[in-house]
Amino acid sequence: MPKSGLAVLLTGSLMLGGCMQATLAPSSDASMTPRDRQLLAHPPYAQANIPDQYLRHIVDYTRREQPGTILVDTDARYLYYVLPGGKAIRYGVAVGEEALAFSGVATVGRVAEWPDWIPTPEIQARLGPYPSRIPGGPANPLGARALYLYQGNKDTLFRIHGTNQPEYIGQAISSGCIRMTNADVIDLFDRVRPGTTVVVLGPGQRA
């Protein structure tokens, strides 16, 4: 097949609804540290087959958010990191069940690598019992990285984080947080700083 025909085929296979169109699939692990590679070499969960539409892509982006903004489309199960020039990196995510999901505008209050997990009293009551603190590592539900969402100086208790259940990417399954594959959250983490604006669209609000 001529190169031009192959390019058309690849572009066509990545078409999205609306005005978003995938144009490129970046490398999945370029930003992993030696520690990341060591911890993820033999993860305590099965390798998940992520559907193609939830793999990381660079896409056209026509909304008005400024470069550096994170936008989460909960209905479509996508997180966008806005780039200059009308582009964004689109990641597949798992989102909260409707009654548990966060929506609105927040900022990244802090970030952490391989964070410990401290289950909230609500999670303990609904899903526990868990230990009061679970050390960071590949078995930890927060995965390789966590971005902690704040409104003003108040922790919302919602996070964007990795996962030890990558098979749920593309579903509304979590206790409200936004889950990414560990490779994707590492990639996002390297682009984000505290103070980054995060826009989370609620049900019915499409990007």
Annotated catalytic residues are 161, 177
For residue 92, which phi and psi values (nearest 5 degrees)?
-80, 140
CA distances from 17 to 14, 56, 60, 207 (A): 10, 17, 12, 10
Identify any residues that bridge with 161 across adjacent strands, giving them in sequence order: 146, 179
Provide DSSP, 52-90.
Answer: GGGS-EEEE--S-PPTT-EEEETTTTEEEEEETTTEEEE
Rounded to whole angstroms, the Cα distance separating 161 from 144 reads 7
122's CB contacts (< 8 A; 6+ apart) are none
Residue tagged 């990639």 (tokens)? 187
